[in-house]
Amino acid sequence: MRVLIVEDAADVAEAVAMRLGKSGMACDVAGNTAEAEDFLAVQKYDAIVLDINLPDRHGTDLLRDMRARGDRTPVLMLTALFSVDDRVSALNLGADDYLVKPFDQRELDARLRALMRREAEQKSDAMLFGPLRFSAATLTASLDGHPLELTRREATLLGLLLRGQGQMISKQRLYEGLFAFDDADVGLNAIELYIARLRKKIAASVVRIETQRGMGYRIVQGA
């Protein structure tokens, strides 16, 4: 496991790196956001420990830039600020957790491991199909790294198709997966509507949904 520590107080950064190193984590240390960006350009990290008050920019500025370019590396913010507004702001920008200085090194270690476990669990949940990535846990999907805007039912339908990758799935089976626990009076032909919506949202990719009359639907790749 590799961790980037972004902290301008050398004594704090050294103590954190030493503690995490003893527990088996490899650590890089950056004293400001510019140095941190240099590390991020050449190295992938399992987690980042990021101080809010840094000499060149706020840590939250770096966090905002990371999330804007799609970097979802778990980030634990360090702050000497006690304002609830400051902490809420950091979480809203995409921080995964925070610790208020001074903190116990054991707690930092434990929180980082919890973040990395959660990230690993979310990744293991992902289903990949060519450029398409789908999470059944969160009902979210991305295509070529770009999020797909899906309704809950569209996402559920996509998940059903992906679980049977390459296999024909009957309209009845899809209907049961989509509406079995729904009180709404929805006909079997509603599946055709949702299939059409999904097709439109993946139309620009190599992923396609095929129809075979009397058999059902399947998701495939290629021209």
Series of mean pLDDT values for 10-residue runs along the chain (223 residues): 94 94 92 97 94 93 90 88 68 83 91 84 76 85 91 90 84 82 68 94 92 91 74
Specify whether 53 is located in the same domain as 69: yes
Using the CB atoms, write b or e for 53-68: b if 16+ within 10 Å.
ebeeeebbebbeebee
Range(s) of the domain holding residue 60: 2-124
Which pLDDT score, from 0 to 100, does residue 137 have?
A: 74
Residue type, 51: D
Number of domains in the chain: 2
**Of 66, 101, 124, which residue is a domain's last?**
124
Q: Cβ distance 91 to 59 under 8 Å? A: no
Using the CB atoms, write b or e for 83-105: b if 16+ within 10 Å.
eeebbeebeebbbbbbbeeeeee
Which pLDDT score, from 0 to 100, does residue 121 have?
A: 66
**Of 92, 108, 124, which residue is a domain's last?**
124
Residue type, 113: R
Which pLDDT score, from 0 to 100, does residue 206 have?
A: 92
Specify whether 36 is located in the same domain as 77: yes
Round to whole Å and give the CA distance between 215 and 213. Answer: 5
CATH, residue 181: 1.10.10.10
**Of 68, 99, 124, which residue is a domain's last?**
124
Closest C-alpha to 23, from 110, 97, 118, 116? 110
Residue type, 49: V
Q: Cβ distance 61 to 86 under 8 Å? A: no
Specify whether 114 is located in the same domain as 170: no
Specify whether 103 is located in the same domain as 143: no
Specify whether 119 is located in the same domain as 24: yes
How many helices (H) and strands (E) are present in the chain, helices listed first?
8, 11
Q: Cβ distance 174 to 189 under 8 Å? A: no
